[in-house]
Amino acid sequence: MPAQPPTGVGLEGLRAAAAGCRACELWEPATQTVFGEGPETARVVFVGEQPGDQEDRRGEPFVGPAGRLLDRALGDAGIERGDAYITNAVKHFRFTPTPKRRLHQTPGPEHLRACRPWLEAEFAVLQPEVVVCLGATAAKALISPSFRITRERGQLLPWTPPGADTLFSAADDDEDAPHQTWMLATTHPSAILRTPDEARPAAYDALVADLRVVAQALA
């Protein structure tokens, strides 16, 4: 069954509640819940797929190799990671154990459904100006099951965050005016790490180009 986040609490209250989430079976083999991180004042939210091995062990999102690549790309695009909120569509690591290491498994639709209330609760608190989907799983969960990164990446799309009552936009000078949240999808940093060496620089440059669209939207 889906999770039931508490209402009327901030991110710290949600994080504490999510630590005990048992909405799907992924909590049992995982080390811990990996909730989002960043300030409640963040204007941009990055949503990945799920925590990886290092994130599961440390309890923090995007702290492994993909996280380090994302940090570099954000810097090259002119976005401070400390000003952003970073989370995942699924808060537990799904994996297949092997004698040497735990192998990543893509979360299924049932895991996205079970975890979605936590994502909605995060959006309700944050009320971001821009949401960035990192990878196909996040894009399909938040935009459309038919969304294709290869065709539609890097485009700013108008979007209404689920669970948010008030939306904010950097384009509005009047704080009382209606606000618009924007969505953009791009490649997950882990996909760039899996790209063959000869093609990796171009894949990285494409990620940075997409993030520069985000930086311009926030400017």
The hierarchical CATH code for the domain 11-218 is 3.40.470.10
Residue 163: per-residue pLDDT: 52
Per-residue pLDDT tens for 13-59?
A: 999 999 999 999 999 999 999 999 999 999 999 999 999 999 999 99
Question: How far apart (Å, rounded) are the C-alpha atoms in residues 178 and 195?
Answer: 42
Question: How far apart (Å, rounded) are the C-alpha atoms in residues 169 and 130?
Answer: 8
Total residue length of the chain: 219
Residue 2: per-residue pLDDT: 75
Residue 177: per-residue pLDDT: 45
Per-residue pLDDT tens for 82-137?
A: 899 999 999 999 999 998 899 999 999 999 999 999 999 999 999 999 999 999 99
- Phi then psi for residue 52, to 5 deg, are -100, -165
Question: How far apart (Å, rounded) are the C-alpha atoms in residues 170 and 41?
Answer: 13
Do residues 95 and 49 make contact, with C-beta atoms less than 8 angstroms apart? no
Residue with the larger pLDDT of the pair 182 and 174: 182
Q: What is the DSSP string of 98-160?
A: -SS-EEE-PPPHHHHHHHHHHHHHHHHHH--SEEEEESHHHHHHHT-TT--HHHHTT--EEE-
Mean pLDDT of 178-201: 91
Give the pLDDT band of residue 162 (cuts 50, 70, 90): low
Do residues 45 and 85 make contact, with C-beta atoms less than 8 angstroms apart? yes
Give the pLDDT band of residue 145 (cuts 50, 70, 90): confident
Say what angle helices 200-218 and 65-77 make with each other, to 10 degrees: 50
| pTM of the shown model | 0.90
Question: How far apart (Å, rounded) are the C-alpha atoms in residues 204 and 219?
Answer: 22
Residue 207: per-residue pLDDT: 97
Give the pLDDT band of residue 173 (cuts 50, 70, 90): very low
Residue 143: per-residue pLDDT: 85
Residue 179: per-residue pLDDT: 66
Question: Residue 45 in 3-state DSSP?
Answer: strand
